[in-house]
Each structure stands twice: as C-alpha cells, then as structure tokens.
Structure 1
Amino acid sequence: MGHAGRMNLRLLVAATAASLALAACSSSSDSTQKASPEPSKGTAKQLVEVSPLTGKAMKKGRPDNPVFVVKIENTIGGAPQYGLDQADLVIEELVEGGLTRLAAFYYSSLPSKVGHVRSLRTSDIGIAGPVGGQIVASGGATGAYNKVKGAGIKVFSEDDGAPGFSSDPLKVRPYNRLIDLKTVARNAKATTIPGPYLPWSQGSDPTPKPSSSTGATATPKPKKATTATVRFSPSTATSWALKGRKWVRTNGHAEAGKDFEADTMIVLSCRVGDAGYTDPAGNPVPETVFEGSGEARIFHGNRVTSVTWVKPGLTKGLRFRTADGKPYRIEPGKVFLELVPEGDGGVSFS
C-alpha cells in the first residue's frame, strides 16, 4: 500500500472466518500488493482499518500519505483560516504573548489551500509525535527547529525551501502563507503510525456507569452544557456552542461556513514550561508539556464528563480514566483538543 511501515491500528471485522482472516493479515504485510477483491457470498468480508485520528473506518484503505500537522495562525491577523473543515483533528496550543495557534491534522483529505501557515514550536513534539505526524510550518526559531528535528519529526518548512507554499495576495507577511498539501504529499514519504491518537470506543456509550460498590469512588454523572469558554490567558479565550450535535467555535477565524465542527471537544489542563528563547518582540516562548497527566473535561453532545488524561510520553497517544479508575473512551468522529495551561487556563460552561 506504499507505506514504509505498518500501522499498529485496531481492525474492524464485519464477519469472521479464520482462514480468510489469516490470509488478509499476511497480505497486508506486502506493501506492493493491491487490496484483495470483494469477497464472494458466504465468505468473510475484508478487514477495514480504523483512522488513528477519527476512529472511523477507512473504507478505501489507508492513504498513501503521512499525517500532516499544519501550524495555523489563530488571530484576526491571519483570518480567514482556510481548510480547517477538512482536517481530521485540531489542537489549540498556547504561544507567546498569551495567544494561541492551531495544529491541524490532515490524513484522510489533503486540501490544496490551507492556512495561513505560521511557525512551529517545541510544544509540537508532543502534539505530532503520537501519530508520527510530519509538521508543515513557515519556519521556526533555530533552537525550536533543531529540537523538533532532533525528536525525529519530519518538518516541511518554507524557510528550508519546502514545496507547496504560496502567498495570499490579500494579506501581508507573516500572515499570508498558504500551503498546498497535495504538493507536499508528492515530496513526502509515509511513515509508521504508532497507534491511535485517542482511545476510541466501538459504538457503545463511552461513559462508564457510576460505581455502586461499597467504599468505591463513584464515577460522577456527566453535567449538561450547550456553551463553553476555554481560557488560555487573561487576553485569550475560545468560545464554543453546541449546534445540533457539533461543537463549533463562535469566535473563531475560519473561512465563513467552513470552520472545524467537532463531534467531541476536549479541554486538557497541561503543565507549561519555558521553551528557552524569546520571540522578536521579547516575549518568552512557552512550551506546553504534552505528556504526563492532568484534569480533562470531555464535551460530547450536551454532556460534559470530568476525567483524568494520561499520556506516558511525548510520542504516546492519549488515554483517559474516570475518578474510580475506569478507562474512558471517545466516540469515533472529529475531535478538537484544547491544551490549556495549568493555573492561568481553564474552562467554564453552561
């Protein structure tokens, strides 16, 4: 299938037949072999891989491209944001001056116009690492760029002459950089995807039932909400509203009618350190430490569930557990992760 390695992903099986299942598994190890023909009546159906970014079945098989993580400006200076509606997953992270930036993940779809593209940060190691993401950025401070590359993450930087960049004639630098991901993909090699970004459920209700055991800490019942405000700093907050079954930003900067619509929005409280350098204006650059554990709120439909997030390493995927230690899984779909700083950040909802 054109991959340099095999993804260790969960497989969905529509029907089981041991001999055919073994044949399907062995054929998948041959990267040059095409997908097997449609099974005849009465036999097991093909195995279908699940997207590491959405938990949904990839009916056409895995793409022949890696996961691209595009750094996108998240202020009015970079508006409008292009291509967010086609992302599989989006993460908002703190940058200098109390502002934020987006890391948009593209795997199942590669838009020809994404932006406006900005520079990378050392925080992106823990953001891109779990799925072997290849970062697309306009550039980055030398120290940050070296750390990201030193972590084994491929970077497509305009400063290094990466292909696919163009200028938006309606904007000025540094807010005018656009990227064509189809062009980037022609110059990229697919890499091993270590595993899913999130622990996906298999269609059942992901909310564990409250414990009734004597002496056990009961899992709190989900609260209700249709609006939320996620605070990153005294000057920056992202507002959300539940529209139908989707969580949508109400103060975002996306192209009209083309913002990212999240099936699930997750707010994670993260430790923030000093990246060790300043921006051109002299502001210290923060580094979100996206590993370890912390508090999290999961917004799905009108339910808000309080859990603990766990990420044992920068390149490891996220896991969640409830107050009584039970695993919590995420329903397949598009997810927006808010990495708010401990102390200065938080979330309120109603």
Structure 2
Amino acid sequence: MLGGMKLRLLVAVSAAALTLTACSSSSDGGTKEPAKPDASKGTAKKLVEISPLTGRALPNGRPANPVFVVKVENTEGGAPQYGLNKADMVMEELVEGGLTRLAAFYYSNLPSKIGHVRSLRDTDIGIASPVGGQVVASGGAAGTYKRVQRAGVKVFSEDAGSPGFSSDPLKVRPYNRLIDLKTVAKKAKATKILGPYLPWTPVNSSTKTPAAGATNPAPPLQRKARRANVRFSNSTATSWKLAGSTWQRTNGHAAAGQDFKANTMIVMFCRVGDAGYTDPAGNPVPETKFEGKGRALVFHGSTVTEVVWHKPSLDEAITFATKAGEPYTIHPGKVFFELVPKGDGKVALG
C-alpha cells in the first residue's frame, strides 16, 4: 500500500573543507604527512520533507495544519473564483446537470478568502482520504454527510456551524459563501499523512525515455499539443492552453490573477454512478468512482503521455503505469486533475 511511501528527500549538504596541516619533519627527509581529517567536518546528509501534494521540498518542514479540500463552485453563477492561485492541487469533478465543481487542496498556503464555497459530494471521500484531507463545504445531503463521516473524513460545514464562513455582498445564495482557512485552521487538528498523493519523479532523476529494444519495453505513447478541450458533458467542457511552462484554463471563472497554473494537467477517465439522491431541481446527483483503474492523459509541457491510472481503494494514492506495465512518475509541481466520465467524456488536442 502506498501509505508506506516516505515523504522525505535526501539532500546532500556540501562537505566542509578539510584543511591539511603540516606535521613536524621526519628526521631523515623532512617529508610531511597530512593531518587526519576531523570526522565532525565530513559530508553529511540532511533529511528534507517534500510536499505530498506537489512533490516539492518543504525547507521548513510540514505545516502544522492539515490538508484542507475546499469545494468551489465552477459555473458563471459562482464567478469569480477566489484563491485558486494559492492551492497546491485542484480537481474538477462532475456534479448534477452535467456541470462540474472544483476540489481545491490547500496545505502550504491558507488563504483568508476562498470561494465561492459549495456543498459536499460522495466523490470527496476518494479525493480527500489519501492525504487525510479535511473537507470544507457549505453543506451537503444528509446521506452524504453520513457516508463521509463513516469513511473517517473530517468536514467543516457552514450548515454544521463551522467557523470562518462569510457572505460575499455582491452575490446571492448559494453562490455567495466565502471561507477563511486561517480561521478554520485554528479549530482543526492535523491528521496523519501516510504518503504522497502521486508518485513523484526524483528531482535528480533523468526523464529520458529509453528506446524500445530487446531489454526495454515499448515507450509510452506520446503526442504534442499546446491546447486541449476536456469535455465532461454536452453542457460542460474546460478549455486549456499551454502558456509558457504551465497549463491554464481559457474559459475558467477565476478572478483576475487568481487562477490555478498547472505544471502538469492530468485527465483521468473514471466510472460514474448514481449517488442515490437528487438536487433541489430534481436532477440525479452523480458519483465519480474514484478508485480502480482506467485510461489517463498526462500533459506536461507540450508533451501528452498516454498512461493507465491505478487507485486500489478510496483511501489510497494514485499511481500510473505505461501500457507496457512500467511505472510512470509525475514531475514535481502543481497538478490539476480532470476527473472525466468514462464513455461520455472526451478530450480534443490542438
């Protein structure tokens, strides 16, 4: 199980210079012998924590707060979105009516204004559990609350009286809820993070793909793209472009300068079932089955790599493999996941 994977990275600390001091001359030739090195000044190794959400070093160690997963409205009605630029990782998931919602992960930064906050979904169990994430939501259906609580996921909900919520005076319910994570963190207890969310490529590792041969399996299928259109339903698609070294949404709803810039964007094709209830408008609420395995596309730079994702259970992390079965790792950085419905979801490259 991936819980045993360590979150530490060995970083070599430069060896202290060893000064060679002269010894007294010998009686026969005056030759000098080097002094014995001081063991206290030798090469040392320093353990540095890495973020479970980005794979990047945490020079000051892990934050005292838990990972917070904030549910964010992702339609024009909830625009503008605040605080996404401070998130460590983001996921887009299908909700009722063919629309989508974001699950934004915050660990290294705790913004005082994130929004607009929406309700809990069953899918959030598989999203938050791998890193002991605590979900922040405006509310949720009674059955969903029970299932999430049985799964051991802590929820900070406005409906339950959790602190830190406020109203945006420029919006109306249910699109006007804001959250201050600094306030929430004062009431939260850090949960144990067993391992990284993704298999990160070591910083000093070569990323070259070996050519296929007698001893090497076939390399993963790769294509080039600078634009992508990720379709969730007939009514919802997210458009992307490569801007410099990051993938950015071109039809997102974030406030100016506050959108998430992804070093890597990953499209995962997932099974979708019925959550067993409807929203106030009578639309069936879907549940993305965030476990098992399926096809995935990894966008990093202008390269799009076809892989297979694996997530054995709701509380386990994600791993990837090529079609030949070779492990595939993700470059450290900020990652945006598109949890696209298997069958109905589509991706067009440009």
Calculate the TM-score normalised by the size of structure 2: 0.89
Aligned residues of 1:291 and 1:312 also touching (Cα < 8 A): yes
Structure 2 distance, partners of 1:269, 1:208, is 24
CA displacement, residues 246-301 of structure 1 (integer Å, 9 cap, x when unaligned): 00000000011210000000000000000000000010000000000000000000
User: Which residue number in structure 2 is paired with residue 260 of structure 1?
Assistant: 260
Q: How do 1:61-140 residues align onto structure 2 when only pairs under 5 Å count?
A: 61-140=61-140
1:3 aligns to what? Answer: none
Query: Which amino acid in structure 2 is aligned with residue 249 of structure 1?
Result: R
For structure 2, the 5+ residue unaligned runs are 15-39
Aligned to 1:49: 49
Do structure 1's residue 167 and structure 2's residue 167 form an aligned pair?
yes
Say whether residues 1:11 and 2:12 are aligned partners.
no
What are the within-5 Å matches in structure 2 for residues 203-242 of structure 1? 203=203, 204-206=205-207, 208-213=209-214, 218-242=218-242
CA displacement at 1:225 relative to structure 2: 0.4
Cα distance in 2 for partners of 1:122, 1:237 equals 22
Per-residue displacement from partner, 1:101-132 (whole Å, max 9, x unpaired)?
A: 00000000000000100001000000101101
2:22 match: none
Residue 44 (structure 1) shift: 1.9
Q: Does 1:176 align with 2:176?
A: yes
**2-structure distance, mates of 1:288, 1:96:** 11
Secondary structure of residue in 2 paired with 1:338: strand
Measure, in 2, the Cα distance between the counterparts of 1:344 and 1:207. 34
Taking the TM superposition and a 5 Å limit, the aligned residue runs for 1:281-292 are 281-292=281-292
Tell me the amino acid that sits aligned with residue 9 of structure 2. Answer: L
Q: Is the 8 A contact 2:220 2:307 kept in 1?
A: no
1:194 to 1:226, Cα distance in 2 relative to 1, 3 A: same
* Alpha-carbon spacing, 1:270–1:221, altered in 2? closer, same or farther (3 Å): closer
SS in 1 for 2:120: coil
Matched residue type, 2:179:
I
Partner SS, residue 183 of structure 2: helix
Report the AA paired with residue 50 of structure 2.
V
Relative distance call for 1:47 and 1:217 in structure 2 (3 A) is closer
Mapped to 2, the partners of 1:137 and 1:46 lie a distance apart of 39
Contact 1:268/1:295, CA 8 A, preserved across alignment: yes
Distance in 1 separating the partners of 2:306 and 2:108: 30
**Whole-Å separation in 2 of the counterparts to 1:292 and 1:205:** 29
Q: Distance in 1 between matches of 2:45 and 2:163?
A: 40
Q: Which runs of 5+ in 1 are unaligned?
A: 1-5, 18-39
RMSD: 1.8
Aligned to 2:230, the other structure's residue is in SS state strand
Instruction: Tell me, yes or no, if the aligned pair for 1:119 and 1:139 is still in contact at 8 Å.
Output: yes
Cα distance in 2 for partners of 1:41, 1:258 equals 47
Q: Which residue identity is paired with 2:172? A: V
SS class of match (2:182): helix
Aligned to 2:147: 147
Match of 1:246 in 2: 246
Query: Given that residues 96 and 284 in structure 1 are in contact (C-alpha distance below 8 angstroms), is that contact kept between their aligned partners in structure 2?
Result: yes
| Percent of aligned pairs with the same amino acid | 68
**Structure of higher CA gyration radius:** 2
Q: Deviations over 1:71-93 (max 9, x none)?
A: 00000000000000000000000
AA in 2 matched with 1:279? D
* 1:346 Cα offset (Å): 1.8
Partner secondary structure for residue 305 of structure 1: strand
Residue 333 of structure 2 aligns with an amino acid whose one-letter code is: G
Alignment check: 8 A CA contact 1:230 1:348 kept: yes
* Alpha-carbon shift at residue 327 of structure 1 (Å): 0.3
3-state SS of the aligned residue for 1:191? coil
Distance 2:135 2:94 in 1: 17
C-alpha displacement at 1:46, in angstroms? 2.9
Which residue pairs with 1:332 in the alignment?
332
What SS does structure 2 have at the residue aligned with 1:47?
strand
Q: Secondary structure at the match of 1:212?
A: coil
Secondary structure at the aligned position of 2:85 is classed as helix
> Tell me, what secondary structure is at the counterpart of 2:159?
helix
On the 8 A contact 2:13/2:46 being kept in 1, the answer is no
Displacement after TM superposition at 1:245 (Å): 0.3
1:340 is aligned with what amino acid? V
**2:306 aligned partner, one-letter code:** S
Provide the rounded CA distance (Å) in 2 between the counterparts of 1:221 and 1:312: 24
Where does residue 343 of structure 1 map in the other structure? 343
